[in-house]
Amino acid sequence: MAILKVAQLGHPVLRRVAAPVAPSDIPTPEFQRFCDDLLETMYAYDGLGLAAPQVHESRRVVVIQFAGDDEPFFLINPVVAPITDQTTAGYEGCLSVTGLRGRVERPDAVRVDALDRGGMPLAFEARGWSARVVQHECDHLDGVLYVDRAEPRSLAFLAEFRKHGPLLPADESRDDEEDEGDEDAESPGEAEDA
C-alpha cells in the first residue's frame, strides 16, 4: 500500500468530471491496489472520506468512513439523489482545501446506488451527517468542491474557526448527528476534512 499525494484547490484534476469505472476493472489487482492506497491515504490524513480525483485519479471511486469503528466502504460509480426537500446547513472541510471551513446547505437525506469494492450493487439511504459526507465525496466526482456551495461569508481558516467559532450558525454539528453519542474527537460544529 502507498500513501498518495492529495491534490489541492487549483489543480485541474479536481475540476474534471471523473470517468466511470468499467465493472470488469473492479476485480483487477491494479484497481484493488488503488482502493487500498485510497483508503491508506484517507487514514494518513485523518479524513473521513476521500474521492479518487483528490489523489489525481479521475475515476468515479470514493471511500468513506462515517465513524472510527465502522468499516470503511467504497462507492464505485455512485448515483446520489435527494429523497427529501429538507435541507440542513453544516460546516465542512476538505483535504483538498487545507485549513478552511465553510457552511454548506445540503439535502438531509439521499438515496445512493453504487457498486461496492467487490463489484456488487449497493443501495442505501443516508441521512444527517452521513448524507452530508456522501454528497461531499460524490461532488468530487463531478469536479465540484464544497467551497462552490458554501455560503461565502461563512468561510474561515481553521485556526480562526477554532478561536471564534462559526461565523454563521450551523443547524447541525457532527456531535448531535451521531447516534452512538460517544464521539469524543470532535468539538461541536468543527467538522472534519473529506
* Interacting residue ranges for Zn ion, rule: CB under 5 A: 94, 194
How far is residue 14's CA from residue 18's CA, in Å, rounded to a whole number? 9
Residue nearest to Zn ion (CB): 94
Residue whose CB is less far from Zn ion, 89 or 144: 144
To the nearest whole angstrom, how small is the minimum distance from the Cβ of residue 118 to Zn ion?
25
Q: What's the min distance (Å) between Cβ of 24 and Zn ion?
A: 28
Cross-sheet strand order for the sheet of 87-94: 87-94, 97-107, 156-157
> How many Å apart are CA 130 and CA 65, to the nearest integer?
9
Q: Rounded to whole angstroms, how far apart are CA atoms 62 and 51?
A: 4
Q: How far is the CB of 119 from Zn ion (least distance, A)?
A: 25
Contacts of 24 (CB under 8 A, 6+ apart): none
Give yes or no: 30 in active site.
Answer: no
Q: Which helix (H) or strand (E) holds 127?
A: strand 121-127
Could you tell me the smallest distance in angstroms from the CB atom of residue 139 to Zn ion? 8
Residues 40, 71, 125, 137: which is the catalytic one?
A: 137
Q: How far apart are CA 79 and CA 190, in angstroms?
A: 28
Q: Is 8 or 84 the residue whose CB approaches Zn ion more closely?
A: 8
The residue among 63 and 94 lying less far from Zn ion, judged by its C-beta, is: 94
128 φ/ψ angles, rounded to the nearest 5 degrees: 60, -135
Alpha-carbon gap, residue 103 to 149, rounded angstroms: 8
Q: Which is nearer to Zn ion, 26 or 51 (CB)?
A: 51
List active site positions. Answer: 137
